[in-house]
Structure 1
Amino acid sequence: MSTESPESTVQSSADEHSQSYLSALRSWVGLTKDQNNLVGMLFVLPNVIVFSGFMLLPVLYAFYLSFMEWNLFLGEGTYVGLENYVTILTPLPWENNWAALRSPTANLWWFSLRNTVIYTVGVIPLQVFGGLGVAMLLNKSIRGKGIYRAAYFMPVMLSGAASAVIWRWLFATDGVINDLLRPLGLAHNWATDPVTALPSLMVIAIWGGIGFNMILYLAGLQNVPEELYEAARLDGATRWYRFRHVTWPCLRNTTFFVLVMAIIGAFQVFGIALAFAGGGPYYATTTVVVLIYERAFNQGAFGEAAAMSFLLFLIIFVFSYLQYKHFGANEVDY
């Protein structure tokens, strides 16, 4: 015969309901029975709230604006559906004999995207492999290693606008670079020529990006087990084979991170492009983000600028996902 009181029965039922609710909460946040990270989740909660309030909600609001013709001063707008996206993408590049990629007057969005892609393709390989090469040189026991590391990292500490102003002075008609090239008859106003303005901008990005990637690769190189190099030397592996079969595979995770960050940074280039040439001459340095800035703050087309932002997000997401599929699926453990 049961001796449980009605009060204990009610308490037991309440405990069972609490456990079921807790199990449902664990399942919702992805925790198993073997994990007890509820306290950790509570510590993370303030950061999640701040992220939601200052980043996620503005992003969602911008997505809402991308379907509006928005008036900033009145704080109101008219719903236009996909009209902003259609306006941005029309005409398509393959229409009119690819004129949208050759002339900014045909479609400035596609022309700025072309500039951004050229910039990305030209900058990323030199940033990545330049950073790797410098990291391998400075990972050795050489005199003054700390000074060299600081010198290569110095451009990273400068703001993009400051770097652009410095290099604009260097590339000027009476600048230092032309002073060196003038005796050879190669002096040129690099920043004001539509043909050379974008390559000059790429030089600034390469100069500033190598130091950042150098630090990341230095961290990766110092985590490669020395035993792997010793085993390779005992097997008679040359320096190239040690790099090809030991160093490079162990840097796979680092390279994945470096490439993703480099792609995101290249597609979002803004500060140096605006400060170096203001998007000119003749839109030669107008990248996608510079165009978004011009549409929003100079022309007041906030709805169209928001639509451009989400098209850029989609492009960056696709490239980042492809990098993850290529590198992230085969992470290296050592």
Structure 2
Amino acid sequence: MSFEESRTDTDAESALFEVATSVKQQLGINRDQDNLMGWMFVLPNVVMFLVFLLGPVLFAFFISFQDWNILKNEGTWVGLTNYIEILQPWPWENNFAALKDPTVNLWWYSLKNTAVYAIGTVPLQIFGGLAIALLLDKRVRGKKIYRAAYFMPVMLSGAASAVMWRWFLAADGVINGLLEPIGLAHNWAGDPATALGGVMLMAIWGGIGSNMIFFLAGLQNIPEELYEAARIDGASDWEKFRHVTWPNLGNTSFFVIVMAIISSFQVFGIALAFSAGGPYYSTTTSVLLIYQRAFEEGQMGVGAAMAFLLFILIFAFSYYQYRYRQSEEVDY
């Protein structure tokens, strides 16, 4: 390249730089906001989010106000009719009939099943995972084998776990083979009174292992100097846990609790594979009902409306946990 060509390129770059500087001044962009390279790195992720996540969510919100035909890809505007049909009658009407009888209002009945599932599984998943993590964080012989054994249920697919547990809990299953000699045999998976309990048992079995991993990571980040200071002060094991372990697991426990609550309200795969919502709607959860309405019955508008009602509920729980966590934090 000759000297004249090099000088021409430099002049062109200078002119382009001056134009860019003038544009930034006109737009009010200062030097701290001038991060074009950062925006270029973020742009692909933003585009993917808008196209494949936010776009479908907004479209689902749009069709929740319509009687949508998925085959014709068109719908009729019905306003709030879908939401009104889903919520009526209210659960406190007719002596809480909607919570007792699925034929009165299946949405409220499925929401009750989901709430029972969450209340029965979340505490046991959290405290079970924490207890096992505390045991395996100590010097235990073969603790890597124990960690792998407790984490193994997490590696199984939900469908495989559901089929396995349905076989365990069936009238001629393994569990009844053990209980029959003492007269306690029962069709646990086929009885509406116990079928949801079978799904909950499966969820607890699978959820403890994943929570154990999170708590183990949190325990390993606690400085050993804190425990040494507690031992010097004569603290007991319970006092060490109360004043050292649990406060330092604040961020971990917050994450585990929020994720466990969200997962419990979104339970779908294991309920579908275990009994497809039966017997007599006893394992019909909110997400399973949304799937049945939208994809099995073709009521896309009703399914979308149910999905947004569930979103509002999950958002309220998550936001409450976030605000409660903020109020518990102490600034030093």
**2:216 equivalent to 1:213:** no
Residue of 82, 91, 94 corresponding to 1:93: 91
Contiguous gaps of at least 5 residues in structure 2: 1-13
Counterpart of 1:147?
145
Whole-angstrom CA distance in 1 between matches of 2:267 and 2:225: 41
Q: Among the aligned pairs, what percent are the same residue?
A: 65
Partner-residue secondary structure (3-state), 1:186: coil
Counterpart of 2:47?
49
Deviation, structure 1 residue 101: 0.5
Amino acid in structure 2 at the alignment position of 1:254 = T
Contact kept, 8 Å, 1:253 with 1:331, in 2: the verdict is no
Q: Classify 1:134/1:332 alpha carbon distance in 2 versus 1 (closer, same or farther; 3 Å).
A: farther
Counterpart of 1:81?
79
Whole-angstrom CA distance in 2 between matches of 1:211 and 1:22: 52
Deviation, structure 1 residue 142: 1.2
Per-residue Cα deviation, 1:190-236 (whole angstroms, up to 9, x for no partner)? 01101001111100000000001001001100011111111111111
Counterpart of 1:290?
288
Q: Classify 1:21/1:204 alpha carbon distance in 2 versus 1 (closer, same or farther; 3 Å).
A: same
Deviation, structure 1 residue 44: 1.7
Counterpart of 1:232?
230
Task: Spell out structure 1 runs of 4+ moving beyond 6 A.
Answer: 11-14
Deviation, structure 1 residue 18: 1.8
Counterpart of 2:251?
253
**2:117 equivalent to 1:119:** yes
Q: Classify 1:169/1:46 alpha carbon distance in 2 versus 1 (closer, same or farther; 3 Å).
A: same
Partner-residue secondary structure (3-state), 1:212: helix
Counterpart of 1:128?
126
Q: Classify 1:333/1:135 alpha carbon distance in 2 versus 1 (closer, same or farther; 3 Å).
A: farther
Partner-residue secondary structure (3-state), 2:189: helix
**2:25 equivalent to 1:19:** yes
Whole-angstrom CA distance in 2 between matches of 1:150 and 1:38: 45
Per-residue Cα deviation, 1:86-137 (whole angstroms, up to 9, x for no partner)? 0000000111111001100110000000000000000000000000011111
TM-score by length of 1: 0.91
Whole-angstrom CA distance in 1 between matches of 2:330 and 2:33: 26
Partner-residue secondary structure (3-state), 1:81: coil
Contact kept, 8 Å, 1:127 with 1:206, in 2: the verdict is yes
Contact kept, 8 Å, 1:156 with 1:211, in 2: the verdict is yes
Amino acid in structure 2 at the alignment position of 1:81 = G
Q: Classify 1:94/1:247 alpha carbon distance in 2 versus 1 (closer, same or farther; 3 Å).
A: same
Partner-residue secondary structure (3-state), 2:67: strand
Counterpart of 2:317?
319
Deviation, structure 1 residue 19: 3.3
Deviation, structure 1 residue 162: 0.7
Contiguous gaps of at least 5 residues in structure 1: 1-7, 27-32
Amino acid in structure 2 at the alignment position of 1:201 = V
Deviation, structure 1 residue 20: 4.6
Q: Classify 1:315/1:14 alpha carbon distance in 2 versus 1 (closer, same or farther; 3 Å).
A: closer
Counterpart of 1:39?
37
Q: Classify 1:286/1:155 alpha carbon distance in 2 versus 1 (closer, same or farther; 3 Å).
A: same
Amino acid in structure 2 at the alignment position of 1:211 = G
